[in-house]
Structure 1
Amino acid sequence: MANLDRPACMDDENGETIRTALAMIGGKWKVLILWFLAIHRVLRFGELRRKLPGISQHSLTSQLRELEENGLVRRVVFPEVPPRVEYSLTSEGEDLGEVYTAVYNWGCHHKQLGEKAAAPGPCG
């Protein structure tokens, strides 16, 4: 295991701190939604849905509502016909940028370990 600088919250024997974080970003789709919003800055509902093959309209709506309730995603409705709705990260959501990058880099490392081809993939 990597040597971690132990912040004071690591003394949380019951894991309440990590439980709080996982309650906000855990689930099948939330991290991917946050990742795409971090990359693209602003996305409409349909754009997000196209980036997440396999997600239902109901699941995407639910996940976005939870992320909005947790203060990580901002939803802006424009008074147009038909209404236009855009999603972006709040400053709290942007604060997770290092987390998204660390998860991406970890995924690249483990993906490359499993690849048999010598050609570099999208991870570099």
Structure 2
Amino acid sequence: MRKAYTPETAAADVEKTLQVLEGRWKLLIVFHLFGGKIQRYSELERLIPGISPKMLAQQLRQLEADGLVLRTLYPQVPPKVEYRLTDWGQALCPALDALLQWAEKRPEAGDPRE
């Protein structure tokens, strides 16, 4: 059964949800993992120019703690670590697609539809 929202509770829950994706790099990491892609740490470093190793590790840990990313550590030398989206993280794709479609409808400055 779906939760009933008031304007106040809806705003609060959306704000909490957006905090999960807050940060300069989280959405970029998520987009690189959509579609069931599995990426190693070094691949993500290469795919995201400008991110420091410390920041990548921090953002991945936060995404993992929030249940969006699954980290798999293979017991070998050197250690092999892979990242992929959880089912819940993958379910974010349609919401982000809808957000992109919404953004495309933004009227230009001076447009009479404003």
Q: Partners of 2:98 and 2:46 in 1: how far apart?
A: 24
| 1:19-58 map, 5 Å | 19-39=15-35, 41-58=37-54
Q: Partners of 1:102 and 1:14 in 2: how far apart?
A: 18
Q: Which residue of 2 aligns with 1:120?
A: none
Could you tell me the TM-score, scaled by structure 1's length?
A: 0.73
Stretches of structure 2 lacking an aligned partner (at least 5 in a row): 109-114
Secondary structure of the structure 2 residue equivalent to 1:61:
helix
Stretches of structure 1 lacking an aligned partner (at least 5 in a row): 1-6, 114-124
Identity fraction in percent: 38
Q: Which residue of 2 aligns with 1:63?
A: 59
**Cα gap change, 1:33/1:15 in structure 2, threshold over 3 Å: closer, same or farther?**
same
Q: Partners of 1:105 and 1:51 in 2: how far apart?
A: 25
| 1:90-101 map, 5 Å | 90-101=86-97
Aligned residue pair count: 104
Counterpart code for 1:94: Q
Secondary structure of the structure 2 residue equivalent to 1:12:
helix
Please say if residues 35 and 100 of structure 1, whose CA atoms lie closer than 8 Å, have aligned partners that are also in contact: no
Q: Which residue of 2 aligns with 1:119?
A: none
Please say if residues 74 and 89 of structure 1, whose CA atoms lie closer than 8 Å, have aligned partners that are also in contact: yes
Q: Which residue of 2 aligns with 1:18?
A: 14
